[in-house]
Amino acid sequence: MSGHLDRVTLEEAMARTQAVVVARPLEPEIRRIEIPLAPDGAHPPFGRIRHRFRVAEVLKGKLAAGEEIEVDNPSWGYDLIVHKKRYLEGVNKITIHESYESSITSEELRADPRRILLLNKTDEGWEFTCPGSSESLRRLPDVRRLMHK
């Protein structure tokens, strides 16, 4: 399986974001859900990753400060289908994903682990607007400006 990434800008991501929050990661930061492909375990399970946060501030959307949320990758369902096709049918597909390239640096996260999350609501909870759609607190003025466009 190979993949191709289409880069999404902050402006593009903000245009389709339902919720914007400042959040702090919880411990542990991720929860991995193993989805078996076959009862006999003959194939590797699919790993669904949910990122865990506590909302510090709500800039847009129907969330509350202090709320704990788990956030999915928006393409996890498609990735599961591709994983099944590969291992159960022997079909290797080229996948095309969107990706947001965050400006957050590791130094910033060490100094303050909070980040801005761009989210959408699904039937199962919250998901990133596109993979990687979190941003540095220093981009807060840009995010606020784009929210009011």
- Write the DSSP string, 84-95: HIIIII----EE
Total tally of structural domains belonging to the chain: 1
Which H or E element spans position 140? helix 140-147
Rg of the chain on CA atoms, in Å: 17
Closest Cα partner for 129 from 46, 27, 21? 21
| Count of residues in the chain | 149
The per-residue pLDDT string of the chain (149 residues; one tens digit each, 9 = 90 and over) reads: 445 568 899 999 999 999 999 999 999 999 999 999 988 888 999 999 999 999 999 999 999 999 999 999 998 988 899 899 999 998 987 777 788 989 999 999 999 999 999 999 999 999 999 988 999 999 999 999 999 87
β-bridge partners, 5: 97
Closest Cα partner for 20 from 47, 56, 73? 56
Contact 61, 23 (CB under 8 A): no
User: Residue 120 is part of a domain; what is its CATH number?
Assistant: 2.40.50
DSSP 8-state symbol, 39: T
> Token digits for 10?
């902050």
Alpha helical stretches, state H, 33-90: 76-84
Is beta strand 134-135 parallel, antiparallel or unpaired with respect to 115-122? antiparallel
Report the alpha-carbon angle 113-71-131, nearest 5.
Answer: 85
Name the 3-class secondary structure at 127. strand
Q: Domain residues for 39?
A: 2-147
